[in-house]
Structure 1
């Protein structure tokens, strides 16, 4: 019976990664997501701590050591203007990576149809040896490498619909011919990467820039005409979603004009493709989304579609 369920993977450590007052990536984000998902009756799993070996799938030892050494015993310290560490940040980041790995294990093992990881900090901006954009470790990319190397899958696709380009995931999977990475994102917008010409070492990267003001209708046409055919052609054994909800019209950090129904539609269509090519195996991990009400409502719409796909 578990195979027909959606599993929620989370941990209270995600609430201990504390950023300065006024910072958009704040504890309340995870609180709002968990509150929005509470009525759905999801099966829950505790996100384990990732191991150092897990991190080493994408990040070098000296980078891991450098981040660990900078975690303060009190207060908060900046790694750059956007990315901060507090005493709880190390465990929170390990739970985010460990949760995504656990989700891969559950889904590939047939213990659940799909899974959503409600964790923070996000991960898709963390490059090989550079933390940035609120991110410390490349959660989705590490999960993809785990699926390929530890679970023996032949191909894994990562679709990132966060409003900001997933430059970290792109960097970490650039040379991985067994992975196909798709990022749709507003352009121009920070971090300034994600041009269509950035195609990966094996034509395994697809960037889909969207102009400011792009609404859900225009987004749907782009995905239907460009993204979905490439995804079907690649035919992954597992689909990983970097689920950012900051393309919402109410989000303060960008200016796309999606609404909850657009996230619902996109999730439904991606799950349908997964049903065609990989037995419906989908792992989703939380990335951005900074208007709290929009974040909660969009995350709920996303997970409701995961539940529908699992039935």
Structure 2
């Protein structure tokens, strides 16, 4: 009997080893299509952008020569690039702060039971489902220098007097305000859905225990809800920052970087220099400049999320 038990254990161990190897092979097999897709769709274009940023390539010509870091030096010395870099940070942080705050308010409101809740959810999700080109054209009419609905409403309520008028897309500050407003409107449904899922995942017993302990609304929000939602908040913030940093659609459709290149962000400036301006090397250098910024933000955000999960 004693001789049989080691044989049985050895056989069971060999079976587990075979299953483990089979699981690893299955895992590799399932991951391979996704890895190949990412390599072809992201890896190759990125390597090509790095290569082009080190050359003086131009559109319409196959001739080029290596110039090293000259494109990066030229870009960094450009006042238009420095303005676009500052606009990118302002555009990202202001819009994401507003999106997180407003999304939290909407998510908390949707947690309550009220008549028309389904319709409210549909209306909130509409900006996310609408094509950005059509939505921006609608906003273009809203911010039009002559037919602006906002200006006429301000005139009716007495905010704008005779001879006063806001030229939203003809002024640098007003132009950036319009761009940020539209981006907040676009990103708000995404943030609301993620935060609503996070709020729904918190057990009701936790809130009941906080009520028994005498915690008020602010104490519950900052000592109970916020710590438990921090991992979800950081993920929503990471997606929002990456999406905003690399987005050029609103800027290009609304102002095209004007007036006088004052509302450009890095993505729209790279498109203007590399595609419209035919200076592929310079445009690639501007686009590659986004990478270290995004990597730093992603690492910091994921570290905060991991610490929150540990706590």
The alignment's TM-score, normalised by the length of structure 2, stands at: 0.23
Question: Larger relative CO (CA 8 A, sep 6+): 1 or 2?
Answer: 2
Bigger Cα Rg: 2
